[in-house]
């Protein structure tokens, strides 16, 4: 993956119309580019991925009803830690060993088989994917964000608001590498650019981010 860290800060939860109006420097035809981002990554290995299978390129809209963006998919991925439970409590419908299948956004259905723990902490989970499930959305199936474990961007995010996506804390996100298309990579960006993290909200690039 890229070893760069991009400094961004979260925008306050403005109405979408307001966000898009202030985000004009980053917007394309009045829209914010969308990418997936993971805050607390948990490694996922796909047990039935073909041996030495190549990276598969999937597509997702750059914004709702917009042009498509390319998303790499393979045998090792990251999902959010909060999207997994060793023992599923009542009402938990995401990944757990022997639990129901979930949908990876813009990708496939996966089912958790087992997990690996080190000193009581889950370090990775083993899942099977359904290669025929692309494009299917069974009713009531949870949809999870994810990124390719080897092809992503490391993005440093500022504290933002106490009630925002980072809960008032600095954090690091793993984002689709598509995000690099919308940022200058020479460390001289003047800031003020915005894009949308799926499920997390809008973010703004800080002036002079490190790349």
State the pLDDT at residue 192. 53
- Alpha carbons 10 and 13: distance in angstroms, whole number: 9
| Window from 26-35, 91-100, 144-153 with minimum mean pLDDT | 26-35
Higher pLDDT, 205 or 73: 73
Residue 198's nearest CA partner among 145, 124, 149, 122 is 145
- Alpha carbons 116 and 118: distance in angstroms, whole number: 7
Mean pLDDT of 52-63: 89
What are 164-211's pLDDT values in tens digits?
A: 444 555 667 888 988 777 665 444 445 556 677 887 777 665 544 443
Number of H helices, E strands in the chain: 1, 16
Q: How distant, in Å, are the alpha carbons of 45, 101, 143, 163, 190 from that of 137?
A: 22, 11, 9, 31, 41
State the pLDDT at residue 29. 52
Checking if the pLDDT of 84 tops 80, the result is yes
Higher pLDDT, 74 or 211: 74
State the pLDDT at residue 89. 87
Q: How distant, in Å, are the alpha carbons of 24, 170, 188 from that of 37?
A: 22, 15, 24
State the pLDDT at residue 13. 41
Percent of residues, the chain, with pLDDT higher than 70: 67
Checking if the pLDDT of 144 tops 50, the result is yes
What are 118-138's pLDDT values in tens digits?
A: 999 999 999 999 999 988 877
CB 149 within 8 A of CB 75: no
- Backbone dihedral angles phi then psi of residue 111, each to the nearest 5 degrees: -130, 130
């Amino acid at each position: 993956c890229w070893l760069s860290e991009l400094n961004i800060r979260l925008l306050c939860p403005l109405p979408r119309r307001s966000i898009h109006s202030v985000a004009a420097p980053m917007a394309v035809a009045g829209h914010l580019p969308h990418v997936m981002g993971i805050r607390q990554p948990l490694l996922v290995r796909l047990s039935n991925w073909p041996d030495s299978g190549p990276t598969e390129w999937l597509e997702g809209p750059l914004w709702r009803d917009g042009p498509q963006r390319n998303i790499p998919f393979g045998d090792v991925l990251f999902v959010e830690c909060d999207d997994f439970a060793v023992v599923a409590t009542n009402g938990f419908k995401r990944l757990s060993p022997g639990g129901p299948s979930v949908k990876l956004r813009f990708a496939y259905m996966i089912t958790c088989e087992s997990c690996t723990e080190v000193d009581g902490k889950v370090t990775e989970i083993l899942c099977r994917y359904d290669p025929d499930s692309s494009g299917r959305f069974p009713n009531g199936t949870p949809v999870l964000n994810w990124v390719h474990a080897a092809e992503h961007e490391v993005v440093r995010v500022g504290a933002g608001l106490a009630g925002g996506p980072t809960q008032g804390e600095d954090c690091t996100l793993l984002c689709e590498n598509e995000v690099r298309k919308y940022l200058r990579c020479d460390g001289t960006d003047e800031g003020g650019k915005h894009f949308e993290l799926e499920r997390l909200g809008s973010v703004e690039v800080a002036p002079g981010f490190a790349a």
